[in-house]
C-alpha cells in the first residue's frame, strides 16, 4: 500500500505553505524596503554594488534554507536596486508602481496563473477583456480595436508590424502563414529619421533590412516633417511616433495617417510612453489623429505606472491581429472565451492583466488624467527651474521629457557624472545633435514638488563641482 504522507524536501515545502513564516518574513522585508525607498540613494552605492559578489557561487549541491535566501536578497539585493519606486528616478522613462497595483500583484503572484488560455485562468481571461475595453475607451481608439498584453512596447511593436506586414501582403494576394516570405511582394517601410531603436529591432526580426526603409527628415525636435513624406501606396508600412525618446515630441500623427490611409498603407503608432497623452483632455491634442492609425504599441509600466512588466499591442481589426499571432493544435481547445495567447507571441505568460486592471480601476479616468498632467507639470517646472539657474534646455517641453545641458560638452558630461553618483536623483545621458545631453524623464506617480526642488539643487551642486574640477592642460 502506498504511503500518502510526503517526506523529505517535499514535506518541508508543504510545511512552508502551511506555517506561513516564510511569507511573513518576505512581507517584513518588503515593508522595510517600502519604508526606505523614498529617502534612500536613488542609485545604489559602489559599496552596495560591490557586495553583490556574495551571489557569485556555484550552484549548491543540496537544498538551501529558504529563510536564509530571503535574508540574502534583502540584505544584499535590496540596497543594490535602483529606487524606481521613489520620486527622483528620472532614467529611461521608467515609471513607478501604483500602490494598489503593487498590492494586487502580490496576490496575483500567489495565484501564479498562466494567462495563455481561458481554461488555464478564467480570471486572467476576463480581466484582459475588461482592460481591452477600458483602454480603447480611455485612449479614444476605434471600438473594434483588440489588445494583446505583452511584456513591453518592443514586443508590442513587433506584433503590430507583423499584423501590418501580413495584412498588406494579403491584400496583394500573398498569404504569409502558408507561403512564407520567400518570393513575397516587396513592401516599403517609412519611418522618421529619429524613430526609436526598438522599431528597427522589430523590423529586423520581421525580415525588413535597413535598405528597405525610407526615412522622413525630422525637425529640430525629432518630429517627422509631413511635407517631406514620400508618395505612399498599398505596399507601405508607415511608423509614426507618439513621444520622442529624448524630447517627448509627437509626430503629426493625424496628417501622416491621412496621407497613408489615402494610399492604402498600414500606419503603426509607436507610443511607448506618449500614447497616454490621449487620456488627458489637456494633452490629447499632441496625439491628434491617433484613432486614424491601424495599430499602436504602448507601455502600461511607463506613464500609467502599472508594475513591470506590462505592454500592450492594439490593433484596429481584431482578426488581423489574431491572424498574425494565432496558434492551433489538437490539444488546444477553442471556444467563445478569450485566449490571451491568440493576441500575443507567447503561450506561457504571466497574468499581467491583473495589475493592469488594478492600476486602471484604482485611478479611474480622472486619476489617469491627473497622473499624466502632474508628470507633465513637474517636467515643465524642472525645465523652468533649470533655465532660471542658467542651464540649457534643449527641447520644447510638451510632455514629460526634459533635455538639458551645461555650458559645453565637458561640463555636461561632468554634471551628469556627479548626478548619477550623488544618490540624490538619477538621470540618463544621450547624444543630441552631436553633443552630450542629459535626459530627465518624469514618469513616477511619487514625484512631488519637493522632489523637483531637490533635483534642481542637485543640478546646481553638480555644476559647481564640474566648475571646480581642474582643467585638462
Sorted by where each begins, the domain ranges of the chain are 103-360
Residue 336 pLDDT: 84
- On the question of pLDDT at 1 being above 60, the answer is no
Residue 367 pLDDT: 97
Q: What percentage of the chain exceeds 90 in pLDDT?
A: 93
Q: CATH top-level class for 103-360?
A: alpha beta
Residue 70 pLDDT: 97
Residue 167 pLDDT: 98
Give the confidence band of 335 by pLDDT, cuts at 50, 70, 90: confident
* Mean local confidence (pLDDT), 163-181: 97
The residues, any chain, with a CB within 8 Å of residue 150's CB and separated by 6 or more, are 156, 159, 311, 312, 313, 344, 345, 346, 352
* Residues 380-419 pLDDT 10s: 999 999 999 999 999 999 999 999 999 999 999 999 999 9
Residue 472 pLDDT: 57
Give the confidence band of 471 by pLDDT, cuts at 50, 70, 90: low
Which residue from 38, 105, 45 is spatially nearest to 80, judged by alpha carbons? 45
- On the question of pLDDT at 139 being above 70, the answer is yes
- 424 vs 328, higher pLDDT: 424
* Mean pLDDT value across the chain: 95
Residue 353 near residue 115 (C-beta atoms within 8 A): yes
Residues 298, 366: Cα–Cα separation, whole Å = 20
* Mean local confidence (pLDDT), 128-147: 98
Residues 11, 22: Cα–Cα separation, whole Å = 15
Give the confidence band of 210 by pLDDT, cuts at 50, 70, 90: confident
Residues 18, 359: Cα–Cα separation, whole Å = 31
Residue 164 near residue 183 (C-beta atoms within 8 A): no
Residue 283 near residue 375 (C-beta atoms within 8 A): no
Residue 5 pLDDT: 82
Cα dihedral 416/419/422/424 (nearest 10): -160
Residue 375 pLDDT: 98
Residue 473 pLDDT: 42
* Mean local confidence (pLDDT), 116-135: 97
Amino acid at each position: 500500500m502506498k504511503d500518502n504522507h510526503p517526506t523529505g524536501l517535499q514535506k518541508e515545502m508543504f510545511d512552508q505553505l502551511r506555517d506561513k513564516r516564510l511569507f511573513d518574513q518576505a512581507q517584513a522585508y518588503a515593508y522595510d524596503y517600502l519604508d526606505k525607498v523614498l529617502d534612500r540613494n536613488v542609485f545604489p552605492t559602489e559599496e552596495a554594488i560591490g557586495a553583490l559578489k556574495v551571489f557569485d557561487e556555484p550552484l549548491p549541491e543540496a537544498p538551501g534554507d529558504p529563510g536564509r535566501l530571503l535574508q540574502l536578497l534583502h540584505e544584499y539585493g535590496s540596497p543594490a536596486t535602483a529606487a524606481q519606486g521613489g520620486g527622483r528616478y528620472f532614467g529611461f522613462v521608467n515609471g513607478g508602481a501604483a500602490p494598489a497595483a503593487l498590492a494586487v500583484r502580490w496576490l496575483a503572484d500567489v495565484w501564479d496563473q498562466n494567462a495563455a488560455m481561458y481554461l488555464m485562468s478564467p480570471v486572467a481571461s476576463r480581466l484582459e477583456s475588461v482592460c481591452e475595453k477600458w483602454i480603447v475607451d480611455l485612449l479614444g481608439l476605434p471600438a473594434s480595436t483588440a489588445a494583446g498584453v505583452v511584456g513591453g512596447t518592443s514586443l508590442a511593436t513587433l506584433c503590430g508590424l507583423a499584423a501590418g506586414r501580413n495584412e498588406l501582403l494579403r491584400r496583394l494576394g500573398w498569404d504569409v502563414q502558408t507561403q512564407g516570405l520567400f518570393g513575397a511582394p516587396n513592401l516599403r517601410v517609412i519611418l522618421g529619421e529619429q524613430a526609436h531603436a526598438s522599431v528597427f529591432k522589430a523590423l529586423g526580426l520581421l525580415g525588413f533590412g535597413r535598405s528597405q526603409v525610407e526615412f522622413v527628415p525630422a525637425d529640430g525636435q525629432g518630429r517627422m516633417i509631413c511635407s517631406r513624406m514620400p508618395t505612399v501606396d498599398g505596399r507601405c508600412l508607415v511608423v509614426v511616433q507618439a513621444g520622442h525618446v529624448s524630447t517627448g515630441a509627437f509626430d503629426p500623427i493625424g496628417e501622416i495617417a491621412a496621407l497613408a490611409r489615402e494610399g492604402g498603407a498600414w500606419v503603426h503608432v509607436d507610443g511607448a510612453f506618449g500614447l497616454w497623452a490621449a487620456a488627458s483632455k489637456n494633452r490629447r491634442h499632441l496625439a491628434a489623429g491617433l484613432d486614424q492609425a491601424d495599430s499602436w504599441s504602448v507601455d502600461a509600466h511607463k506613464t500609467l505606472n502599472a508594475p513591470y512588466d506590462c505592454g500592450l499591442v492594439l490593433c484596429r481589426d481584431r482578426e488581423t491581429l489574431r491572424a498574425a499571432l494565432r496558434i492551433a493544435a489538437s490539444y488546444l481547445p477553442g471556444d467563445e472565451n478569450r485566449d490571451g495567447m491568440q493576441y500575443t507571441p507567447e503561450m506561457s505568460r504571466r497574468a499581467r492583466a491583473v495589475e493592469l486592471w488594478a492600476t486602471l480601476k484604482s485611478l479611474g479616468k480622472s486619476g489617469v488624467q491627473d497622473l499624466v498632467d502632474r508628470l507633465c507639470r513637474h517636467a515643465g517646472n524642472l525645465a523652468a527651474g533649470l533655465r532660471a539657474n542658467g542651464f540649457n534646455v534643449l527641447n520644447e517641453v510638451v510632455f514629460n521629457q526634459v533635455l538639458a545641458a551645461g555650458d559645453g560638452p565637458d561640463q555636461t558630461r561632468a554634471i551628469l557624472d556627479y548626478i548619477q553618483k550623488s544618490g540624490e536623483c538619477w538621470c540618463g545621458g544621450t547624444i543630441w545633435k552631436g553633443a552630450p545631453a542629459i535626459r530627465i524623464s518624469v514618469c513616477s506617480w511619487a514625484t512631488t514638488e519637493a522632489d523637483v526642488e531637490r533635483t534642481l539643487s542637485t543640478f546646481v551642486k553638480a555644476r559647481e563641482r564640474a566648475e571646480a574640477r581642474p582643467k585638462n592642460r
